[in-house]
């Protein structure tokens, strides 16, 4: 199977959101207890739900709400949010982290959910899974109508007590790192004021 690089900015924007999604300062640690079969099953379920949303025929608002549910059900949202926030997470209060996590989840759902209709008819397939440091990397391909398949790598772990994904790599692009850069830029533009950025995130996307 020949995999093609991702050059379309809109396609990359959508795929970034499918996760998520987003190299990180706070990743799951410790020996992974989940099995290869569990890692594959998790991503099978994620991709199945994403496919159902894309082809549901629902309104944009309905699809965005369902997409946010994917983060709740399958994504390690606290890890993703803290990683996207980066070093400022260490000085943030518990209340600020909780507020940022909630705002960030909604922001991602709105930002990327609006791209869904462009990908009606896309298909995806799980190819393999292998251990990588303290987590599993699940290899998949995605195929858009009339185009060659391209590789999508999912990073999954059970270190938060459940089998969850926390990052994707598409065409060599680490999407968690990309989101961290974006959030860092947003925070810098607000003079490092985390509360202001949280408020703005609630209406952004």
Q: How many Cβ atoms from other residues are within 10 Å of residue 35's Cβ?
A: 13
Q: How far apart are the first and last CA of the chain?
A: 35
30-39, 45-54, 163-172 — which is least confidently predicted?
A: 30-39
Highest mean pLDDT among 2-16, 25-39, 113-127, 136-150: 136-150
Q: In what helix (H) or strand (E) does residue 53 lie, and over which residues does it extend? A: helix 36-54
Q: What is the pTM of this model?
A: 0.80
Number of helices (H) and strands (E) in the chain: give both, helices first: 8, 5
CB contact at 8 A, 143 and 15: no
pLDDT tens for 150-170 read 889 999 999 899 999 999 897
More confident position, 187 or 32: 187
Mean pLDDT of 19-47: 69
What is the band of 49 on the pLDDT scale with cuts at 50, 70, 90?
very high
Instruction: Convert 144-174 to b/e letters by CB count within 10 Å (16 or more is b).
Output: beeeebbbbbbbbbbbeeebbbbbbbbbeeb
In angstroms, the CA 173 to CA 150 distance is 13
Segment 190-205, tens digit of pLDDT:
999 999 999 999 987 6
> Once rounded to an integer, what is the mean pLDDT over residues 6-27?
47
Distance CA 72, CA 193 (A): 27
Q: What is the pLDDT of residue 8?
A: 57
* pLDDT of 57: 86
What domains appear along the chain, each with residue ranges and CATH number?
9-201 (3.10.450.710)
So what's the pLDDT on residue 150?
Answer: 84
Mean pLDDT of the 64-76 span:
91
Cβ atoms of residues 164 and 158 within 8 Å: yes
């Amino acid at each position: 199977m020949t995999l093609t690089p991702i050059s379309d900015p809109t396609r990359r924007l959508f795929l970034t959101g499918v996760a998520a999604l987003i190299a990180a300062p706070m990743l799951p640690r410790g020996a992974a207890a989940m099995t290869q079969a569990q890692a594959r099953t998790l991503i099978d379920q994620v991709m199945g739900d994403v496919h159902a949303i894309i082809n549901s025929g629902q309104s944009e608002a309905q699809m965005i709400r369902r997409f946010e549910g994917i983060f709740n059900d399958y994504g390690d949202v606290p890890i993703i949010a803290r990683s996207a926030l980066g070093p400022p997470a260490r000085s943030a209060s518990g209340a600020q982290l909780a507020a940022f996590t909630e705002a960030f989840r909604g922001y991602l759902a709105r930002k990327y959910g609006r791209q869904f209709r462009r990908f009606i008819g896309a298909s995806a397939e799980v190819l393999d899974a292998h251990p990588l440091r303290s987590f599993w990397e699940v290899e998949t391909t995605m195929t858009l109508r009339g185009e060659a398949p391209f590789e999508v790598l999912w990073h999954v772990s059970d270190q938060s007590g459940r089998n969850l994904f926390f990052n994707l790599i598409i065409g060599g692009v680490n999407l968690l790192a990309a989101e961290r850069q974006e959030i860092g830029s947003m925070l810098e533009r607000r003079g490092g004021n985390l509360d202001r950025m949280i408020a703005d995130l609630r209406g952004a996307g």
